[in-house]
């Protein structure tokens, strides 16, 4: 955090000065480790064992926050009797289908009250379908649908089928000894963390987890984060000040880019893109998202969707055309950025827009990415500088090695200079969901223009060309609203776009809250969770009351979604009766006199709902929320220790080894996540993992991370002299032990070989890297930054660490395993030209690597017992 979010880290150092304990768990020793009370080097990819053992510790020592857990989580809820755990099936859950590598998630559901039937909640979609459309990402603002809100509960937590008992059993083998054997963290260090965690959680204290989004870049990425969520719920650290799980996102508006997504599977506000066949009518579409019988605000998804379609298509969105759902394209599977890369290689994509992004350096498997660009007919790159993606045809490593000649590359390339953040107005949404408006300082230079202006112009010209067309393919383009107000120079007004996103009522007045949205077509709004940013006609993203003139919540600086609320689910900061759990940790509370929730933050709860209120059983929507249901976006009002829906690879996080690993999974017979997304191709090879022969050819773990002085693939840092001078050269960090073993010299050169690429880097021999003892065997890890790329335009260049990666994805999110892989390291610079290819091939041959290596999944499993 100190390394990649230095200014945010000031709050950690301030907390430390006031007595907080700071614990850093990371394979590398970074600037964070330097100031932490405790740094634990961990074997990359084993976080679920570490966190799972903490869960086991919290349960077995009865350190959980009992009253919170019983009242606010689903610990007491009974799970269906057909459910089988990984402890029963040696690493698989019930419902696994070996033919597809996906789960039928039906048996993971809650127990139904009457006949014991499995809930067909919101239509129970098969895991393969959920995975393909990355359905888990729909839960960016609320939980998965349940058909209704009625559950069976045992508040003594003793029923063997209640979530608490299932959880206890699931993690019973995640012991301190297991942490030592799998993660390489000594038992005594683990116990120090466990003690600090328990001592600093409860009524008077809270613990916070911060993770950089590298946690998502694993084949078990989403489940790593789930493990931390379970732990935080057990300790009562969610919805309370100083608690929670902080996703430290790495880009100025990466939160905004999922809220208002440029993602294949989402529409704004976490509404799903429609899928072929399943979403023919508006009713089908809404039924797949939510049910009016489920609790909470997600039950009104119909109003959010109709309002979105009114914003996009105006009068052309009517009840008769399914509120313009009829005009939208349909998904047929996963169409993520890596599937798109493969489609380019197969010549299925003709044109590609790359906007402020540098996949030739920043995406996994650079060689494959650059090859994909070579297959395009036309490529549009818009950026501040001539990034490697724009110049791949003239200075990529493949051109440098003589493998490709520019004359043979048929891709037509357009480079458009982009406007910088200072040259356009608009909002970023930072990592705590806060929208902050940037005022425009100056005009962009020369022909540079913003994406907003460029796409407004492209849209206008497309519509002008198509005017009068009656072709079906042109209908939506002509029907969409595109009449934005412009200034004297004809440029689009960004505030008008934000106002459209906010939404309007039937009279054209700006809405103040998403609760005003209706499903009858009388309201509009381009992203329901952002409704209120323009409440009362004021652009609240531009609110700028200085922090020193406000309380620590600072509600008048920017605007946070939803409803300018700064701590989500903050009803949980008060006890079931509505009193703060402690004076020290109070945030909002029930004021019986006024009959309202009040406090320092905007209450995340119906404002006048009495804590003692109990709805009639089965009531759905916001009315179904009981006075002690803090999780208002979850279908049962509770925080989910166990996820009966929503995850495709299991209702509970389970340790699997990474796609490439130096060890055999010590916990289960299943080595890697059985649902991981695999592309079995000759240009996407993987190293064997033990006990397969050849696994010793790539014996080391490489792990990739960032540096303070650079930014991602370097487009905004390697062109700046200041930053280039501070961190001029690609390097790798190795321990003195590994350096001795391989003859590596500090400041000398090393060549790193994976099954995909050979790169070179300067060597940093340092105690910051620790050899780990894993099950009695030493495992070496090599740390590398990924900011460099090969090209002629930047101030500094160097080999790209991401070239070492293969493409294998988390099935929940379609995100690549980008943090680690297997490699060898030898002293000296890498060969050039054909000799480089020969070295790569020689390693592959020695390891016996084929396209099929590492692509195996377990066979099917008998739902009642043994795996086969």
Report, in Å, the least distance between residue 428 CB and other proteins: 5
- Nearest approach in angstroms of CB 382 to other proteins is 9
Give, for 412, the enclosing helix (H) or strand (E): strand 412-417
> Does residue 329 touch other proteins according to CB under 8 A?
yes
Q: Give CA–CA dist 573/489, Å, rounded.
A: 51
**Residues sharing a CB contact under 8 Å with residue 845, sequence separation 6 or more, in sequence order:** none
Q: Which DSSP symbol is given to 787?
A: -
Q: Identify residues 817-856 at the interface with other proteins (CB under 8 A).
A: 818
Separation of CA 179 from chain center: 25
Nearer to other proteins, 23 or 254 (CB): 254
Confirm if 237 and 581 have CB atoms less than 8 A apart.
Answer: no
The angle at the Cα of 316, spanning 311 to 319, to the nearest 5 degrees, equals 95
Q: How far is the CB of 131 from other proteins (least distance, A)?
A: 14
Gap between the Cα atoms of 105 and 93, Å rounded: 9
Site for other proteins in 710-739 (CB under 8 A): 710-712, 715-717, 719-723, 726
Among 160, 402, 537, 547, binds other proteins (CB under 8 A): 547
Q: In this chain, which of 452, 572, 677, 704 binds other proteins, going by CB under 8 A?
A: 452
- Determine if 7 is a binding residue for other proteins (CB under 8 A): yes
Nearer to other proteins (CB atom), residue 717 or residue 751: 717
**Closest approach of other proteins to the CB of residue 143, in Å:** 20
What residues from 352 to 411 belong to the interface with other proteins (CB under 8 A)? 352-359, 362-364, 377-378, 380, 384-386, 393-394, 406-411
Find how far residue 287's CA is from the centre of its chain.
25
If binding is defined by CB under 8 A, does position 522 make contact with other proteins?
Answer: no
Chain residues 759-798 in contact with other proteins, contact rule CB under 8 A = 793, 795
Residues 28-87 that bind other proteins (CB under 8 A): none
DSSP state of 77: B
Q: How far is the CB of 717 from other proteins (least distance, A)?
A: 6
- Beta carbon of residue 395, minimum distance to other proteins (angstroms, whole number): 11
Q: Please, which of residues 145-204 interact with other proteins by CB under 8 A? A: none
Per-residue mark of binding to other proteins, 289-318 (x: CB under 8 A): -----------------------x------
> Least distance from C-beta 658 to other proteins, angstroms?
18
Give whichever of 206 and 813 is closer to other proteins, judged by the CB atom.
813
Query: How close are the terminal C-alpha atoms of the chain, in Å?
Result: 44
Contact mark string toward other proteins, 491..520, x via CB under 8 A: ---x--xx-xx-------------------
Identity of the residue, 55 or 527, whose beta carbon is nearer to other proteins in the bound complex: 527
Q: Tell me the backbone φ, ψ of residue 320, rounded to 5 degrees.
A: -70, -30
Phi and psi for 97 in degrees, rounded to 5?
A: -120, 110
- Considering the complex, state which of residue 234 and residue 386 has its C-beta at the smaller distance from other proteins: 386
Say whether residue 8 binds other proteins (CB under 8 A).
yes
Q: CB of 501: closest distance to other proteins in angstroms?
A: 6
Please give the residues from 125 up to 144 whose contact with other proteins meets the rule CB under 8 A: none
CB atoms within 10 A of CB 865: 11
Residues 6+ apart with CB under 8 A from 586: 241, 573, 574, 580, 599
- Per DSSP, the three-state class of 352 is strand
The answer to the question of residue 5 lying near other proteins (CB under 8 A) is: yes
Question: CB-wise, 377 or 829, nearer to other proteins?
Answer: 377
Give me the half-sphere count of Cα atoms (radius 13 Å) on the Cβ side of residue 285. 26
Cβ nearer to other proteins, comparing 689 with 724: 724
**Which residues neighbour 778 within 8 Å (Cβ) at sequence distance 6 or greater?**
737, 771, 772
Taking the complex as a whole, how short is the minimal distance between the CB of residue 569 and other proteins, in angstroms?
A: 21
| Residue nearer to other proteins on the CB measure, 442 or 841 | 442
Instruction: Check residue 467 for interaction with other proteins (CB under 8 A).
Output: no
Query: Cis link prior to 691 (omega < 30° from 0)?
Result: yes
Rule CB under 8 A: say whether 472 interacts with other proteins.
yes
Between 223 and 291, name the residue whose CB sits nearer to other proteins.
223
Least separation in angstroms between residue 535's CB and other proteins is 17
**Total residues binding other proteins (CB under 8 A):** 162
Work out how close the CB of 507 gets to other proteins at its nearest, in angstroms, rounded to a whole number: 23
Determine contact, residues 147/293, Cβ cutoff 8 Å.
Answer: yes
Q: Taking CB under 8 A as the rule, does residue 473 contact other proteins? A: yes
How far apart are CB 444 and other proteins at their closest, in Å?
Answer: 9
Whether the CB-CB separation of 385 and 350 falls below 8 Å is answered with no
Cβ contact 245:211 at 8 Å: yes
Residue 436 is a binding residue for other proteins (CB under 8 A) = yes
CB contact at 8 A, 585 and 260? no
Name which position in 34, 117, 441, 747 contacts other proteins (CB under 8 A): 441
Contact stretch for other proteins (CB under 8 A) within 158-166, 285-293, 457-465, 771-779: 457-465
Phi, psi of 331 (to 5 degrees): -80, 150
**Is the separation of the CB atoms in 793 and 715 below 8 Å?**
no
Q: Round to whole Å and give the CA distance between 468 and 464.
A: 9
Closest approach of other proteins to the CB of residue 650, in Å: 22
In degrees rounded to 5, what are phi and psi of residue 736? Answer: -55, -35
Q: Does 538 interact with other proteins (rule: CB under 8 A)?
A: no
| Beta-strand pair 102-103/96-97 | antiparallel
Measured CA to CA, the distance from residue 267 to residue 262 in angstroms comes to 8
Instruction: Output the CA torsion 547→552→553→558 (10° steps).
Output: 10
* Cβ contact 358:388 at 8 Å: yes
Is residue 335 near other proteins by the rule CB under 8 A? Answer: yes
CB of 479 to other proteins, least distance (A): 8
By beta-carbon proximity to other proteins, the closer residue of 566 and 830 is 566
Residue 203: C-alpha distances to residues 51, 240, 242, 246 (Å): 22, 10, 12, 20
The one among 66, 120, 439, 846 contacting other proteins by CB under 8 A: 439
Binding segment for other proteins (CB under 8 A), chosen from 75-83, 522-530, 577-585, 676-684, is 522-530
Q: Which is nearer to other proteins, 280 or 610 (by Cβ)?
A: 280
Give CA–CA dist 763/732, Å, rounded. Answer: 5
State in angstroms the smallest separation of the CB of 862 from other proteins. 34
Q: Minimum distance from CB of 248 to other proteins (Å)?
A: 7
Q: Can you say how many angstroms the Cα of residue 286 is from the centroid of all Cα atoms in its chain? A: 24
211 binds other proteins (CB under 8 A): no
CB of 28 to other proteins, least distance (A): 18
Binders of other proteins among 240-269, rule CB under 8 A? 248-264, 267-268
DSSP 84-144: --TTTTTS--TTEETTTTEE-GGGGSBPPSSS-PPP-TTS---HHHHHHTTGGGGGGSSPP
From the list 93, 71, 63, the residue with the least C-alpha distance to 170 is 93
**Residue placing its CB nearer to other proteins in the complex, 655 or 706:** 706
């Amino acid at each position: 955090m100190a390394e990649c979010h230095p200014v945010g880290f000031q709050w950690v150092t301030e907390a430390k000065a006031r007595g907080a304990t700071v614990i850093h768990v990371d394979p590398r020793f970074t600037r964070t480790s330097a100031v932490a009370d405790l740094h634990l080097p961990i074997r990359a990819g084993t976080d679920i064992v570490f966190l799972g053992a903490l869960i086991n510790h919290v349960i077995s020592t009865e350190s959980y926050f009992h009253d919170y857990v019983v009242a606010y989580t689903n610990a007491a809820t009974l799970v269906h009797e057909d459910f089988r755990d990984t402890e029963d099936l040696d690493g698989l859950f019930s419902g696994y289908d070996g033919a597809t590598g996906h789960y039928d998630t039906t048996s993971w559901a809650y127990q139904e009250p009457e006949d014991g039937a499995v809930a067909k909640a919101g239509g129970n979609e098969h895991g393969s379908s959920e995975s393909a459309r990355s359905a888990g990402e729909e839960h960016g603002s609320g939980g998965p649908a349940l058909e209704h809100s009625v559950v069976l509960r045992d508040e003594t937590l003793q029923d063997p089928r209640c979530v608490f008992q299932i959880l206890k059993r699931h993690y019973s083998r995640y012991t301190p000894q297991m942490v030592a054997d799998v993660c390489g963290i000594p038992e005594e260090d683990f116990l120090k963390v466990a003690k600090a965690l328990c001592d600093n959680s409860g009524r008077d204290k809270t613990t916070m987890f911060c993770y950089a989004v590298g946690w998502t870049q694993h084949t078990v990425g989403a489940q790593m984060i789930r493990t931390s969520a379970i732990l935080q719920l057990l300790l009562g650290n969610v919805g309370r000040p100083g608690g929670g799980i902080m996703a430290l996102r790495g880009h100025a508006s990466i939160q905004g880019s999922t809220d208002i997504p440029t993602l294949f599977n989402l529409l704004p506000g976490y509404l799903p893109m429609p899928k072929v066949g399943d979403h023919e009518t508006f009713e089908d579409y809404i039924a797949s998202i939510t049910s009016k019988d489920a609790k909470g605000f997600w039950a009104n998804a119909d109003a959010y969707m109709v309002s979105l379609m009114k914003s996009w298509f105006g009068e052309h969105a009517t009840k008769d055309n399914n509120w313009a759902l009829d005009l939208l394209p349909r998904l047929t599977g996963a169409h993520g950025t890596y599937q798109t890369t493969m489609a380019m290689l197969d010549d299925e994509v003709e044109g590609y827009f790359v906007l402020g992004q540098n996949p030739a350096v920043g995406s996994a498997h650079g060689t494959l990415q650059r090859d994909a660009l070579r297959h395009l007919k036309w490529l549009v790159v818009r950026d501040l500088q001539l990034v490697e993606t724009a110049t791949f045809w003239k200075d990529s490593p493949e051109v440098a090695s003589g493998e490709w000649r520019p004359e043979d590359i048929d891709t037509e390339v357009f480079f458009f200079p982009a406007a910088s953040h200072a040259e356009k107005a608009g909002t970023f949404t930072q990592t705590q969901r806060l929208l902050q408006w940037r005022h425009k300082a100056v005009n962009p230079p020369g022909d540079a223009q913003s994406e907003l202006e460029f796409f407004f112009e492209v849209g206008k010209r497309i519509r002008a060309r198509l005017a009068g067309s009656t072709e079906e393919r042109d209908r939506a383009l002509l029907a969409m609203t595109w009449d934005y107000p412009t200034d004297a120079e004809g440029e689009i007004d960004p505030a008008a776009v934000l106002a459209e996103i906010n939404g309007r009522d039937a009279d054209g007045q700006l809405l103040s809250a998403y609760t005003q949205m209706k499903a009858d077509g009388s309201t509009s709004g381009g992203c329901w969770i952002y409704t209120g940013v323009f409440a009362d006609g004021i652009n609240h993203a531009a609110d700028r009351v200085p922090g020193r003139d406000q309380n620590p919540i600072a509600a008048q600086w920017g605007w946070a979604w939803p409803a300018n609320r700064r701590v989500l689910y903050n009803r949980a900061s008060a006890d079931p009766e509505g009193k703060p759990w402690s004076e020290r940790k109070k945030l909002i509370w029930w004021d019986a006199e006024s009959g309202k929730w009040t406090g320092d933050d905007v209450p995340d709860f119906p404002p006048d709902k009495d804590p003692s209120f109990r709805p009639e059983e089965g009531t759905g929507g916001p009315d179904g929320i009981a006075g002690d249901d803090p999780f208002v976006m979850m279908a049962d009002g509770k925080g989910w220790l166990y996820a009966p829906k929503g995850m495709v690879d299991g209702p509970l996080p389970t340790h699997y080894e990474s796609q490439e690993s130096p060890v055999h999974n010590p916990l289960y017979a299943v080595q890697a996540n059985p649902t991981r997304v695999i592309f079995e191709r000759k240009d996407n090879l993987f190293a064997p993992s033990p006990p397969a022969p050849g696994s010793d050819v790539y014996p080391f773990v490489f792990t990739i991370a960032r540096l303070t002085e650079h930014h991602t693939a370097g487009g905004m840092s390697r062109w700046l002299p200041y930053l280039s001078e501070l961190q001029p050269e690609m390097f790798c960090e190795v321990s003195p032990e590994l350096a001795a073993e391989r003859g590596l010299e500090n400041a000398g050169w090393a060549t790193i070989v994976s099954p995909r690429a050979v790169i070179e880097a300067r060597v940093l021999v340092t105690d910051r890297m620790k050899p780990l003892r894993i099950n009695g065997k030493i495992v070496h890890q090599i740390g590398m930054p990924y900011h460099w790329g090969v090209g002629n335009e930047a101030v500094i260049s160097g080999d790209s660490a991401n070239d070492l990666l293969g493409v294998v994805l988390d099935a929940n999110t379609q995100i690549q395993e980008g943090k680690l892989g297997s490699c060898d390291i030898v002293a000296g610079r890498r060969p050039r030209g054909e000799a480089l290819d020969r070295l790569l091939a020689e390693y592959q041959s020695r390891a016996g690597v084929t396209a099929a290596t590492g692509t195996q999944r377990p066979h099917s499993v008998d739902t009642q017992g043994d795996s086969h």
